[in-house]
Amino acid sequence: MKYILKKIATLIMTLFLVSVAAFVAFQIIPGDVVTSILGTEATEEREEQLREELGLNDPPVTRYINWVGDVVKGDLGESYRFSKNMNEMMPVKELIGDKLPVTLWLAAIAVVLIIVISIPLGVFWAKSKSKVLDAVMGVLTQTAMAIPSFFLGILVTYLFGIVFKWFTPGGYVSYQENFWGFMGYLFFPALSVAIPKIAMTARFLRNSMITEMKGDYVRTAYSKGCNDRRVMYLHVLRNAMMPVITFLGMIIAEIVAGSIVVEQVFGLPGIGRLLISSISTRDFPVVQILILYITFVVIFVYFLVDILYRVIDPRISNK
Amino acid sequence: MIKIENLSVAFDGTEVVKKLSLTIADGEIVGVVGESGSGKSVTALTMMGLVSEEATITSGKIWYDDTLLLEAGKPRDKALYRSFQGSKMSMIFQEPMTSLNPTKRVGNQVEEMLKLHTTDLTAKQMKEKVLEAFLSVGLKDAERVYECYPHQLSGGMRQRVMIAMAIILHPGLVVADEPTTALDVSVQSQIIRLLRKINKEQKNSMLFITHDLNLAKRLCNRVVVMKDGNVVESGTVNEIFDHPKEEYTRKLIEAVPSREKKMQRFSMNVGDIQNANGQNMPLQRPDILEVKDLNVSYMDGSNSLFSSKKKKQVVTGATFTMKQGEILGLVGESGCGKTTLSKAILGMNKDVEGSIIHHSNQPQMIFQDPYSSLNPAKTIGWLLQEPLRAAGLRDKQFEMTKADREAAAFDMLHKVGLSDKYFYRKSSQLSGGQRQRISIAQALITRPGLVIADEPVSALDVTIQAQIMELMRKLQEEMKLSFLFISHDINVIYQMSDRIMVMKEGRIVEIGETQEIFDNPKEAYTKQLLAEV
C-alpha cells in the first residue's frame, strides 16, 4: 500500500514536470497564435484585442498557474482554432472527447492481440526442437519486425480490404452508433500496429524461456513427472515472463504514443490527426493537453507493469 | 530393486560414464563418491530419466524391479518415465534455492506431486498431506512454511522442503545428489540424520551422491567409488574405508582432512627455543594485525526517496591480534560475519567503528571461487603482474620495470608449482586447482605480510584441496606469511591453523590454540560445531 502511494506521488511529480516542459516549450518555439488565427491581414487593434481575450498578455507564470488550476478543476481550456458555433470556441474536452476512444481502443486491441498471439507463439517456439521451424520462425519474425507499420497498414488494407473485402478501406463507424462495427474497423489497423510487436515479443519470450529452461527448478519439475507442456506453462512461463513484462510495458507505451501514423493510413479520426494539425496551427491548449494525456498513459502503463512484476515475482516485494 | 547394467553415456562422442553396473537393494543406502567429472551425477540423472537430450546412451540397460526403464539404442520412453518419476523414484538436488521454483509457494510445489500422481484426493486432503510431510521432515511451522516462497526460507528449510517433496509419495527409491553441499555444517548433519530417519521409517532405497567421503561413511551401507566414468571399487562402508583395495580409493580417503593425523607444521617452531624440560618456548613474535572493538555495518534497504536506510550491524566488538607468521583459522556458519570482517580488515568496507592496525604492507586476499575471480580475457602473465602495476601506480617506491615485473611473475609461477608455459595461457585453459594456484600467486606477488584466504579450498575436489593446502603451508613458511584462513570446514581449519577463532552472529565467541580448542572447547557453540563432523 505504502508502495502504491509512493508510486502515485512519483506519477504526480512526473506530470508536473511534463506540464511545465510542455508549457515552456510553446513559449519558446517561434510562431504566433494570433497571426495563425487571424491571418496576416488583420489590424493591430484586432490582434491586440485577441491577445487580451486569450490572456496572452499576462506574465507566463500567471498563465501557467491559471492553466494548471483549470486543468485540475477539469476545465481543459478551449481550442484556438476550432469553434463550436459562431460565438464560442470549441472546448478541448469536447474536441478530444470523441477522438480519444478511437485511439485508446486501437491501442487496447493491439495490446490484446500482442499478448494473445505472442505468448503462445513464444512458448511454442521455445518448445520446438525442430531446426527447420526455428529457422523459419527466425526469418518470419525478423521480417515482421523490420516492416514499418504504415507499410504493413497498406498491405493489410490491400489484402483484407481489397482482395478479401473483409472491411471497407477508409470506412469508419462511430462507437456510439455501432460498437461492434467500430471494433471491426479498428481490428485491422490494430493488427498492423501489433504485428511487428508480436514478432519482437515472441522472440524475446522465446529467448527468455530458453534461458529459464536451463534452471535447476525445471529439472526438479521433470523429476516430479511433469510433462513438457506442464513444465513450460506452469513452471517456466511465469519466470520467463519477468523480462518480457518490462518489454511489453515499453511496447504498450510506444503504441499509445505512436498510433499517429497508422491512424493516418487507415483514415481513423483518432487523436493522432488532431495532434499533427494542432501543432502546425499552434493550437496550444489542445497540444498541451494531448502531451499530458500521452504522458499520463505512459506512466500509468509503467505503474501497472511495476505492480504486475510484484504479483508475478514474490521476491521483489519482499526485498 | 534397481539394476544398472553396463551403462555407458556419451556427450558429443565422449563417454562420461563407461560400462557402469550398479545394483541397489530394497531399503539400502548406496553412496556414490568421486571427484567432479567422475560421472556420478550423470549416472544418477540417466537413471532418473533427467539427463539432457544431448546425451546418448551408448550401451546398457536400467531396470526398476521388473520394469525395463531404459535400454541403449531405444528412445527414452518419456511417458513410462513420467509414471515413475515422483511416485516411484524421486530426487533431491544440491542447490535447494535454485531447485525450487522461485515464483511458486513451496506448499504448492510439494502439492504438485500429489496432483500429478494421485486422483482421489480433494484439495483439502492434499493440503493436509503436504502439511504432514512438512512435519515429518522437521518443518515444525508447517502452516506458515506452506505459504512461503523459497526465498523466505533458510537453506536448511528449503532442503527439507525438497525432501518433503521427494518422499511425500513414499517412492521406492530416493536419489540425493550432493544434498548437503550447499548447506552449513550444522545443517548438513541435521539433513543427514533426517535422510537416515526417512530410510528407517519408509524403508526406501537411497542413492546418495557426494564428493564428501565423511558423509558417505556416516550415511551409507555400501559405497561405490567412481573415477573418470568407471567404478574403481565398491563394497560395504567398512570394506572401503578400512581396507581400500585400490590405490585411488586410498588416495581419496587420505586426502580428506581429518582430525587424527595433523600434518606436521614447522613454521611456529622455527626459531623457537627449547627450555630445559625439552618443551618449546614460543619466541616473542611481533604483531602483524591488531583489531580492537571493531564494529562493522552496512546500509540496508532500498535506494528510495521515501524510506530511510537502515544500518545493519554485521560484526560486533571484534577484538583480536595476529602474530607474524601465524595462521589464524576463522570458523563460523554462513552469515556469521566472517567475510564482512575480512573485508573490513582489507579496507573494503568503510562503515567501521573501532580500530584496525596493520603492521604490514597492503594485505592481500585469496578468494573462494577461482572460476569467477580471475578475469577470463587476460593471460595469466598479465594477471600476475597486475598487482605489481597497481602497487606502482599507488606508490612510486614500488614502481618496477617491465622486465622486473615479468621476472617476478615467472618466479611466483614456479613458487606455486606451475611451469613457464602457463604464463601465456588464459584462465579458461586451466583446471580449478591450477586457477586457485594462480589466485594464490596473484595474492602473494606483492609480498604482503598478511594474506586473507576466504574459503580458498571449498570449491575444490578433495585431492586438489589437499594439494592446495599443502602449497599454502609451504609458501607460508618460505615467505614468512601470516594467514587469516576462513573456512566453514572445521577439519580444514584444524589442519591449517595455529590458532582458531570461532564466530557466531557477528561476535567472536572463542579464540585460542588449535589443539586447545579441539580438546577443551569452552563455549557451547564451539562444542556444537566440533560435534557436527
CATH of residue B42: 3.40.50.300
| Burial (CB count <10 Å: 0-12, 13-18, 19+), residue A251 | buried
Q: How confident is the model at residue B267 (pLDDT cuts 50, 70, 90)?
A: very low
Contact status of B268 with chain A (Cβ, < 8 Å): no
**B230-236: strand order across its sheet:** B89-92, B173-177, B205-210, B29-33, B222-227, B230-236
The pLDDT value given to residue B274: 45
Q: How far apart are CA A94 and CA A76, in angstroms?
A: 9
Shared domain for B342 and B197, answered yes or no, is no
Return the residue of B nearest to A224 by Cα: B86
Please choose, from the candidates B33, B297, B338, the residue with its C-alpha nearest in 3D space to the C-alpha of residue B184: B338
Shared domain for B179 and B322, answered yes or no, is no
Phi then psi dihedrals of residue B362, to 5 deg: -30, 110
Shared domain for B293 and B149, answered yes or no, is no
Shared domain for B110 and B230, answered yes or no, is yes
Q: How far apart are CA B109 and CA B148, in angstroms?
A: 11
From the CA of A147, how many Å to the nearest CA of chain B? Answer: 37
Phi then psi dihedrals of residue B68, to 5 deg: -85, 110
Q: How far apart are CA B365 and CA B439, in angstroms?
A: 9
Shared domain for B293 and B238, answered yes or no, is no
From B85, B87, B305, residue closest to A222, measured CB to CB: B85
- Per DSSP bridges, beta strands B482-486 and B327-331 are parallel
Match domain A100-269 to its CATH number in 2.40.50.100, 1.10.3720.10, 3.30.429.10, 3.10.105.10.
1.10.3720.10
Shared domain for B326 and B237, answered yes or no, is no
Q: Which residues of A touch B149 (CB under 8 A)?
A: 314-315, 318
Contact status of B304 with chain A (Cβ, < 8 Å): yes
Shared domain for B152 and B25, answered yes or no, is yes
Shared domain for B221 and B95, answered yes or no, is yes
Q: How far is CA A300 from the centre of its chain?
A: 11
Shared domain for B95 and B9, answered yes or no, is yes
Return the residue of B nearest to A217 by Cα: B99
Give the model confidence (pLDDT) of B480-516 as tens digits. 889 999 988 888 888 889 999 999 988 999 999 988 8
- Find the mean pLDDT for residues B172-199: 89
Phi then psi dihedrals of residue B466, to 5 deg: -60, -40
Residue B98: domain span: 2-255
Residue B275 has pLDDT above 50, yes or no: no
Residue B371 lies in a domain: no
Residue B397 lies in a domain: no
Residue B209 lies in a domain: yes
> What does the domain layout of chain A look like in residue ranges?
2-96, 100-269
Q: Are A270 and A99 in contact (CB under 8 A)?
A: yes
Kind and range of the H or E element at A209? helix A179-212
Residue B264 has pLDDT above 80, yes or no: no
The amino acid at residue B102 is P
Residue B12 lies in a domain: yes
Other residues' Cβ atoms within 10 Å of the Cβ of residue A147: 15
Q: How far apart are CA A127 and CA B529, in angstroms?
A: 48
Shared domain for B215 and B318, answered yes or no, is no
Return averaged pLDDT per consecutive 10 residues of chain A, 319 residues in all: 82 89 81 74 80 80 87 83 77 84 88 94 90 93 88 87 82 80 86 92 94 93 93 92 90 78 82 83 84 86 86 72
Q: How far apart are CA B443 and CA B342, in angstroms?
A: 15
Interface of A with B in 2-31 (CB under 8 A): 6, 9
Residue B68 lies in a domain: yes
Q: CA dihedral in degrees (B417, B420, B423, B428; nearest 10)? A: -60
Contact A220 B162 (CB under 8 A): yes
From the CA of B73, how many Å to the nearest CA of chain A? Answer: 20
Contact status of B85 with chain A (Cβ, < 8 Å): yes
Shared domain for B317 and B181, answered yes or no, is no
Alpha-carbon separation of residue B171 from B63, B86, B102, B206, B215 (angstroms): 15, 7, 25, 10, 23
Kind and range of the H or E element at A142? helix A131-146
Test mutation, B88, B94, B99, chain A, max A CBs within 10 A: B99
Residue B90 lies in a domain: yes
Shared domain for B249 and B317, answered yes or no, is no
Return the residue of A nearest to B110 by Cα: A224
Give the model confidence (pLDDT) of B437-490 as tens digits. 999 999 999 888 899 998 888 878 888 888 899 999 899 888 888 999 998 888
Q: Which residues of A touch B95 (CB under 8 A)?
A: 216
Return the residue of B nearest to A236 by Cα: B101
Contact status of A219 with chain B (Cβ, < 8 Å): yes
Test mutation, B112, B148, B162, chain A, max A CBs within 10 A: B112
Q: How far apart are CA A280 and CA A292, in angstroms?
A: 18
Other residues' Cβ atoms within 10 Å of the Cβ of residue B257: 23
Q: List CB contacts of A119: < 8 A, sequence separation 6 or more.
A: A201, A202, A205, A237
Q: Are B364 and B443 in contact (CB under 8 A)?
A: yes
Contact A313 B100 (CB under 8 A): no
Residue B203 lies in a domain: yes
How many independent structural domains does chain B possess? Answer: 2
- Per DSSP bridges, beta strands B89-92 and B173-177 are parallel
From the CA of B111, how many Å to the nearest CA of chain A? Answer: 11
Residue B104 lies in a domain: yes
Contact status of B78 with chain A (Cβ, < 8 Å): yes
Contact B86 A314 (CB under 8 A): no
Q: How far apart are CA A77 and CA A90, in angstroms?
A: 9
